[in-house]
Every structure is written in structure tokens, then in C-alpha cells.
Amino acid sequence: MDKYYYFDNNATTRISLAVSKAMAEASYYEYGNASSSYSLGLQARERVTDARKKVASLFSGEPDDIIFTSGATESNCTVIHSALKTNADRRIILTSAVEHPSVANTLKHYAEEGYVVISIPVTEAGVDLDELEQYLSRDVALMSFMAVNNETGMIFPIDEIFRCVKQFDSNIICHSDCVQAVGKANIPFSYADFLTISAHKFHGPKGIGCIYKKREVDLHPLLYGGGQEKGIRSGTENVTGIIGMGVAAAETASSLEHIEFLQRQQKKLEDALLKEGAYIVGRRADRVPGVTNVGFSGVEAYELQMQLNRKRIFVSTGSACSSNKIGISPVIRAMGVPEAYASTVRISMSKFTTEDEVDYLTETMLQLTRKLMDTQK
């Protein structure tokens, strides 16, 4: 493929070379079933154990706290399903108004089943912690609140939110989708019962993720079968994926020097776009580095995305996993972004992004938006 400019790292990231090599080797030589008791199986099991340790270190947890799944969608569904079973006598679910569909649509399903799902408002300033208490009651079964929003990069104060919840009632199960936090923000493990992540968002492979579970809380399975992962997640272990996730976790934990670089690139990009009249969603909020959600009055995001694509620049519109849908993202709408700017594109960088790429993006975006705004006049 000719040179391209990848700015959609919140949708997925490029697999790192070390991850790719480890997986290629393991898939060929270490193809044993990790549940088999002969040497080839035991070798696979050892690799899984080693990866589990590496992944646990992302949460400052123990290997036993990690349950591997097929990704964050499955992890989120499992945790929600489990929490409602644990607190079967309760009917209220608290969540944020800006969750990823893997949480939002799972909760929609439970709302149809009779649960009361309350979405806590999120504005561009973040969450109003003083308001939080009004949502708490002894009928709350679960609070599911993401750590970092995938569309805007906004960081939420999960430790504070969950502390408040647990102080009110320690039996309310607290879950945070931390998919977009890994390698970019602190993982909020202090008060959470469950945290969920996905390897392909931090330079690991697709189709593998995990649940981090606090030791003392129950986790009921969503899938039944051969009893792998201590009976919580049946199905033959994805050994190659797990190995890849382990390498990606170790690389992420040891390389945070790109954060400052991304902060600088983001500032440079945003300053240039603001001069052209751009509206940057959550501009003054606490955000992860390298994520900019931007709208221009009179510019249709899908049109801008297509024109950027012609220049071999890849950005997204709407939510990561539904970028082919046209229209205003429900997250942007829920946050109350002014209508004129609500058609936004999301630019998301990674540790592989270079300064030249950001410069090319900035220049091209400015040219294209000027032209698009002129055609509106």
C-alpha cells in the first residue's frame, strides 16, 4: 500500500512488530491446546500464564485477577450480565450518557427486560460529581462508567465516582470500560470491581481482551462449556492472541515516553484548527493525548472524511465501531455540542504517529475545510 496517514487509533491500532513476531512464531510452533496435559499443551499453558502476568501488571493486579475473553464487547456484556445476577434483587443500573455501544446497547437490552437504566449526564466539562449522590439508592445493582471516552478522549474521574458509590453502598457493583485508557491514562483500579480492556487498542491483536476482577466479587459466566478460565469463560484459549496481548501489555507498560510527544502534536494541531474556526469537543476537559474530536460550522463530517481519504488520510466520524454510519453521533449529541458543529471527525494518534504526518494532516485539513466552508457561503 502507498504511504497513508493513519489517524484512527481509537478504532484500532497497528499491531507492534514484536507482537506480530511473537504471534507468528507461537501460532506455528506452539499450537497445542492449553488445556491438554501433554508437553505441547503444557507449553501453551505456560505461555498463557506468562501473558496473564504481563496483562495483570497493567492493573497492578495479580494474574488470577485476569479472565481472557474475545475482546471488550464480550467482557462488557459478561460483567453486566454477571452483576445483574449477583444483585438479582435490585432493578436500577447507573451508567454514563456516553458509553460505547457494547455497554449502551447491552443496557438497552436490560431496559427492555424491565430494568431502570439511568444515564448520568456528561457535558463538555465532564461529570458533575456533586450531582452524583442524587442517583444513588439501595435499588442500584450496577454502575458502569467508562474511564476514557472513545470519541472525545475525555477522561472521567472513575476513582472518585466509584468511591462515592461504594461509600453509599459497597454492594453496588462498579465496572469501568477502560478500553481507551490503556497506555494513555491511569487505570482506575482502586474502587472498581471490574475493569475491561481490549488488546487491539494498544498495538495488540484483534479478538482478544480481558476482564480484571477484584478477588472478592463473584463473576458469573456468559458462556458455558469446557470450563476454561476457571469456568468463567469457556472455549479453547486463544493462545496466540493471549501471547500477543501479553507482549502488547509489556510494551505499553514500559513505554510511556510518547505521551509528551502526543500532547505537543495535539496542541499544535488544535491551535491551527482553532484559528480556522474549529470547535473542539471537550477542549477544556481532561483528555488523553492525541485524541481530537473536531467540527467546523457548515462542514459535513462525512464529506470531510471522504475528502481526507482521497489524500490518504484516515480519520473517523461517529463512534469507532460504526464509522460507516452517517449522522451525528449519539455521544456528541448527549454532550450538547452546538448543532452547527455537531457533525465532527475524530483524529486519534498513537505512539507510531510522526510529526511529519501530523503536519501533513493539519495542512490538508485546513485546505479542505476552507474549501468546504466556502462552498457553503
Q: Which residue in 82, 97, 218, 213 sits closest to 154, CA to CA? A: 97
The nearest distance, CB 364 to ligand PLP, in angstroms, is: 25
Grid coordinates of 294: 473536531
Grid coordinates of 62: 495479580
Instruction: Decide whether 291 or 299 has the Cβ nearer to ligand PLP.
Output: 291
Measure the N-to-C terminal CA separation of the chain; round to a whole number of Å. 37
Instruction: Decide whether 71 or 241 has the Cβ nearer to ligand PLP.
Output: 71
The nearest distance, CB 146 to ligand PLP, in angstroms, is: 6
The nearest distance, CB 10 to ligand PLP, in angstroms, is: 6
* Contact set with ligand PLP (CB under 6 A): 71-73, 100, 102, 146, 150, 177, 179-180, 198, 209, 320-321
The nearest distance, CB 197 to ligand PLP, in angstroms, is: 8
The nearest distance, CB 202 to ligand PLP, in angstroms, is: 11
Instruction: Decide whether 96 or 353 has the Cβ nearer to ligand PLP.
Output: 96
Number of Cβ within 10 Å of residue 331's Cβ equals 26
Grid coordinates of 40: 505441547
Rounded Cα gap, residues 34 and 47, in angstroms: 9
**Cell 494532516 sits at which residue?**
361
Tell me the Cα Rg of the chain: 21
Q: Do residues 143 and 95 make contact, with C-beta atoms less than 8 angstroms apart?
A: yes
3-state secondary structure of 186: coil
3-state secondary structure of 194: strand
Instruction: Decide whether 177 or 193 has the Cβ nearer to ligand PLP.
Output: 177
Instruction: Decide whether 71 or 289 has the Cβ nearer to ligand PLP.
Output: 71
Q: Which residues are catalytic?
A: 321
Q: Which residue in 228, 223, 251 sits closest to 238, CA to CA? A: 228
Residue nearest to ligand PLP (CB): 71
Question: Which residue type, as a one-letter code, is found at position 158?
Answer: I
